[in-house]
A and B are shown apart, each in its own frame.
Chain A
Amino acid sequence: MKIIIAGVGKTGYTVASQLALEGHAITVIEEDGEALNETVENVDVVAYHGNCVNRNVLDDAGVGESDLFIALTGDDELNLFSCLIAKKLGAKNTVARVRQPEYSGVIPLIAEDIGLSMAVNPERETAAEIARILEFPLANKVEFFARGKVEMIDYAVTAKGPLCGKTVKDVFANTREALVCAVNREGEVLIPFGDFTFAEGDIMTIIAPRGNLGAFFKASGVAGHSIKRVIISGGGRTSFYLAGELISHRVRVAVIERDAQAARALHEVLPEVEVTVGDGTAQKLLVENGIESADAFCCLTGIDEENILSSLYARHVNPEIKTVTKLNRVEFVPIVKPLGVGSVVSPKLIASDRIVSYVRAKQNGVGSGVLTLYRIVDNKAEAIEFEASAGSALIGVPIHLLKLKENVIIACINRGGKIISPRGDDTVEAGDTVIVVTTHTGFDVLDDVLC
């Protein structure tokens, strides 16, 4: 696809490099010469120096012939405005980053008029991601498929946990609730079958119809208690979205915010939230707010170092607590993760992930049997949603009789809205959509899974 990216700050850079690697023709527009050089020197793109609403620049960059225009400058209004102009010039789709909470209510009103295909709000996406993580305290990451009807989580096998040493058969043969579709063992991705034995340190990727996971974990003896009390350090935009979301799920939320005015503003909009003015790294304050007995602690201040330290402290005083740490500096995520700060979220990565998966969905919509494609387990495996047409060789054959390629698993079947977690005796029928997980790449139609 021909894609134009206006603004190559950190998010723009991440999006540009990921999409360029996937073979798209990327043109970037940026006003800051230094950021532009950085991009041109490291990413396979064409770059134009200038303002993204300048007619000459837009024409030179070929906005008129582009398939997608993505506005990622630091300025919401500029993003929306440039998307409107790009659309008028002939760009087929436009995506804008819009961060202002006030705008989130009005974007749907104007999206059609200005021809906006998608608005990405990094803070809101981050809050949603954290809410999902807190919904399954055992999971590190949660993703949704099939319009939210299927969910996929990562679960780390611990030495003391009930799954360690068991085989796939032991855990999943007697349940229809969920299925393990990939295992990340020391960085290597394996697709596990019947006799595969789980070991300490494995990260299982489990796929299940939405709402089943709780029952599954209960049945398999993994103690999962739901989150009832959350402390949030920092009262910025992400916290605002997150607190609202959690309250609607009847979770008790306490927020610690340094700035008195911001704290008051938060309390005005969300009266149910206990807001305290103070330093989120102050140990006394945290203890006063009940860090020793809280179920989860989210560090969402704007300062990475404070977030890391607070998380470490929380885990120190309360080893059972679930912590979520926000990092702005994307490049440090891999270094910080092993420190034991719980789940790490980065708004910039989440925003770029959203955009990249939007592009993949657009790309795959054309001329192949792929409905959606997700990269999972650090991009080392793919989860692909196919439509099963009547002519497919898989139709009507029990799965255990199919000659599947190695490292391919049929992870989920969607039959007219009913989600089936498939076992050996199940069959794929015409009209189903099927989610396949594989370490192969380049599958175009469902029959590609066969030998």
Chain B
Amino acid sequence: MRRAELLMAIAMAIFSAYLMWMSAKLPIGWVPGRGPGGGSFPFWLSFAMLICTVWIIVRWFRRTTPQSRSSEPFFDSRSLTLVLLVIGALVTMVGSIYFIGVYGALPLFFVFYMRFLGRHSWAKTMTLALAAPVITFFFFEILLHITLPKGATETLFYPLYDIFM
């Protein structure tokens, strides 16, 4: 926990500096006839962010906050595995949308999550895995007219559009 606190503060300090650098591409001071420059607002706020991170780091050295005194691990290994697994599954799902579309990615995600993480019965898993895309299709595409990305499965939907739209 103690190390995580410092690492996060340093990461955020670097990020603030990066934001300042990016903001400074536009004028950060007063532009005659045009008022405060386009970069001024983000620049000075990023600067304030940097000051806050420095403040956090100073407190870390002085061990004034609970986090900087804590000797507990930031993650225990069991929850770390679990969290990483879930994040990995999410990234895979979103990535696969480009290829197999939302309607391909959703069932796979449900199968993975319910069957392999939740250990639910196949019957339950498949019911949800199949119901989810159907409900999504009718709710989003037909009712709300929001087209979701379909990747390679695009042409499969033409007949559905012909029927329902």
A, B from the same assembly: no
Give chain B's interface residues, CB within 8 Å of chain A. none
Give chain A's interface residues, CB within 8 Å of chain B. none
